[in-house]
Amino acid sequence: MIDLKSKRIVVTGGAGFLGGFVVEALKARGCRDVFVPLHADYDLVEPANVKRLYDDFRPDLVIHLAAVVGGIGANREHPGEFFYKNMAMGLFLLEEARRRRIEKFVALGTICAYPKFTPVPFREEDLWNGYPEETNAPYGLAKKMMLVQSQAYRQEYGFNSIFLLPVNLYGPRDNFDPASSHVIPALIKKCVEARDAGAPEIAVWGTGNASREFLYVADAAEAIVLAAERYDGAEPVNVGAGFEIQIKDLVPLIADLTGFKGRIVWDATKPDGQPRRMLDVSRAEKFFGFKAQVGFEEGLRETVAWYEQNR
């Protein structure tokens, strides 16, 4: 068990959606030396900037959340950029941390690292049993390389790096930009705008048959901080809520919560993405005592309310 209060902690991506909640969770535990490097000051795709970051903040612990991310559309348009930038950040941050003998590195992977046809619920043992879903494979594989690097560095150098696999996140302060947002914020924005315009219908990508699991962002932040405190193992660990919902059930739920009364039209010419997603979350509970606390409908209400107040 690490006492985080006494540590100097760098949270890459700490100004982002998940990062803001992680920083709040750390401060709630009494951590005073929490540093958030901004992209404008430290573009972590360049090794010189990674070195400068470590020189400036001298961390004991690094929580690496920074990523170049987006939904299916953004992944299809920028596979090269998503691969290179995510790969480079993980590669240089881990290597420089290892050289400087930093106490611990917490690497955030992605559910997109799992094979396309992983049996449900996804178990960590299945991570290498096939190629990821094509639309986000470059992103998923780039993040997955941090697991390989973490395990290799532990084996050769005794470096303490852990790897977490969070499911799709949602919650207040999410990214609602339609060009890069994920499914829940995209649907909330679409439903609210259609409601306000009195539109008779909304169009939704895919058939609605795909299923997803969603984790409330404050729960995810708590899981990351618990892992930073309590988990020092080589094995990857899923972070999720342990349930799934089909998109065809999710859309009417969001329509109801936003007060959109029109029709839902499915555009089956657009991709569904991975057919099913749901995690086996038993390792997280066993290894560091994490269990999701916020119910799905409760979390959605909070997210809709935040969007209505801040759009």
Mean per-residue pLDDT, 223-243: 97
- The Cα angle at residue 134 between residues 132 and 140, in degrees rounded to 5: 50
For tokens 């400087």, the residue is 100
Domain residue ranges in the chain: 4-171+214-240+278-293
The percent of residues in the chain predicted with pLDDT above 90, rounded, is 92
Token pair of 187 as six digits? 């649907």
* pLDDT the model gives residue 182: 86
Structure confidence by residue, pLDDT tens digits, 272-287: 887 889 999 999 999 9
Mean pLDDT of the chain: 96
- CA dihedral defined by 18, 7, 44, 50, rounded to 10 degrees? 180
User: Which entry of 139, 153, 216, 231 is annotated as an active-site residue?
Assistant: 139
157 is catalytic: no
Q: Is the pLDDT of residue 259 over 90?
A: yes
161's CB contacts (< 8 A; 6+ apart) are 94, 97, 98, 104, 105, 106, 107, 146, 149, 150, 153, 154
For tokens 């020189």, the residue is 55
For the domain spanning 4-171+214-240+278-293, the CATH number is: 3.40.50.720
Least Cα distance to 266 among 283, 278, 279, 249 occurs for 249
Q: Can you give 264-308 as a three-state secondary structure string?
A: EEEECCCCCCCCCCCECCHHHHHHHCCCCCCCHHHHHHHHHHHHH
